[in-house]
Amino acid sequence: MSLNTQHLALLGHEFVSQSKKDGFIAVNNPATGEDLAFVYDIKEQELQDIITKSQVAQKKWAALLAVERANILLKWYDLMLEHKQALAEILTQEMGKPLAEASGEIVYAANFIRWFAEECRRIDGDILQSAQQNQKLLVLKQPIGVCGAITPWNFPSAMITRKVAPALASGCSMIVKPATQTPLSAYALLVLAYKAGIPKDLLQVVTGKASMISKVLCESDIVRKITFTGSTEVGRTLMAQSANTIKKLSLELGGNAPFIVFDDANVDEAVKGMLASKFRNSGQTCVCANRIYVQSGIYDKVAQALKQEVEKLQVGNGLESGTTQGPLIDTKAVAKVEEHIADATSKGAKVLSGGKPHSKGLSFFEPTILTGVTKEMAVAREETFGPLAPLFKFDTEEEVISMANNTEFGLAAYLYTNNAARQWRVGEALEYGIVGINTGIISTEVAPFGGVKQSGLGREGSKYGIDDYLEIKYMCVNLGN
């Protein structure tokens, strides 16, 4: 299947072309290797012009009543659900995830729009008690202004709406730079946004050379905030580039999530959560289980139970019925998984299941389980971002907390135990921004998403997410005699 008439209607943007032409970049389907479409390679001066227009549009948008902004956002939400199937098919073709997962992402993405459409009517200030007579102290919340968003390929719709929705709800404008591998989802969302009534200059998608675009956004005096989801390495670069203009930053960076299973856990439920956390999106999520710690008393039982479930996974094109595991995004991702397996097995780990590129070729990879994994192996320190489940063994609670926290990252962690006191004790001891207890699925628009340590700054989603797009202004009013 390639892009059909319905898909192309959602991609009716001047920066998207069906045919190859000068100044456009190919978008590839990782499951087939074919070119899906071509997107415009923007020039620096064109980007500067977009930034200038964004500033003008932002001031007009901020002047609207909150309920007016909310109503337009809710129209966008409705249009996303109306076109859910086509949006999911576009997503699957450019990114590779199974259609059922892509469809779930579209709903998840739309929910951020609905949530922040509702939240924008609750952007309230405050009146403080003054220490002096005839004086009023007021606190206002105002939009920060023009924002730049740089989004990843693994959730090409949800990571956009999670940033755009609070920005627009608060009265900001936004320029989105989607990942080079997955820009079509961004343009499809943009077309629907315009159809809903969002002004063209208020929300823009730009594609092209990532280093140029990010540098221009970070160094612009007009752009007041940068929000980024991606690697810690790139996050550091963006921080440095933003330093001279003292920008507000939201950074959702790398993870190295521990998944802890204690002896008293329900093994079937733990394996179910493990499967969801580790192998969703072929292991290509920032919160997926990267280090699986199993207490020694049930280690072998968990390993065999996981093997049984992993071998049921169906690898294939995400558009094909029954597929539960799509391709990796590209051959570089395959190489990273192979490196981690080779390193681990050279140091004593054993392959329990999978372990090599899939016979389907391209960037397909067998879901893999390693046993006998230790802290000396690369997979203990580095994020794999692929369908590799390494099983570590531990004996005591204190030992596993130390092992889990022994990383510069701090995005998500998981633990399974039926002991309520341990749930609280370990949950609080883990140095992570998000902790899933007896669940492998943690993402929702109603909860704050973000990490600690070198996993980032700020929070997205929830009632707290809109604060990252607001400035607090204090007004001291002398009423006179």
Amino acid 369 reads: I
Q: How far is CA 285 from CA 293, 439, 471, in A?
A: 19, 16, 31
Q: Is 382 a catalytic residue?
A: no
Half-sphere exposure of 259 (CA within 13 A, CB side): 26
Is the CB of residue 444 less than 8 Å from the CB of residue 110? no
Kindly list the distances between the CA atom of residue 102 and the CA atoms of 47, 95, 97, 319, 450, in Å, as whole numbers in the listed order.
30, 9, 6, 10, 22
Q: Which is catalytic among the residues 252, 366, 383, 445?
A: 252
Give catalytic residue positions: 252
